[in-house]
Amino acid sequence: MYVYEDPDTGIVKAMMGIGMNEDEDKENAFELHFIYVDPAYVRQGIGSEMIRFFEEKGREKGCREFVIWVLEENGMGRNCYEKNHYHFDGRDKIFKRWGKREIRYVKTI
């Protein structure tokens, strides 16, 4: 897990989990498993900064394809991913814990 700590205040404003993707059709892809930005700090570029860090870590592992599963109803998250050049690739699944539909966003660098 990685955290975003404000360099000036020391306040932790966000966190994320990243690692290799396990989707059968995505060999050698890197996945953003989860990301959370404290609601008090959204729309300040923190999510985009964390996505860039996620991509950097994936490139260090030799990955060129990146995957993010997001709840279909998470409009704010989807907007952030689209702003960072991710696109919905048509794949979906049910997130069992909540019984909600997730859709897959991907990006190739």
Residue ranges and CATH numbers for the domains of the chain are 2-108 (3.40.630.30)
Cα(78)–Cα(103) distance, integer angstroms: 10
pLDDT tens across the length of the chain (109 residues): 999 999 999 999 999 999 999 999 999 999 999 999 999 999 999 999 999 999 999 999 999 999 999 999 999 999 999 999 999 999 999 999 999 999 999 999 9
**Strand pairing of 100-108 and 87-95?**
antiparallel
Cα(77)–Cα(16) distance, integer angstroms: 13
The pLDDT value given to residue 109: 93
Helices (H) and strands (E) in the chain, counts: 2, 6
Residue 94: C-alpha distances to residues 37, 53, 71, 102 (Å) = 23, 28, 9, 6
The answer, as to whether pTM is greater than 0.85, is yes
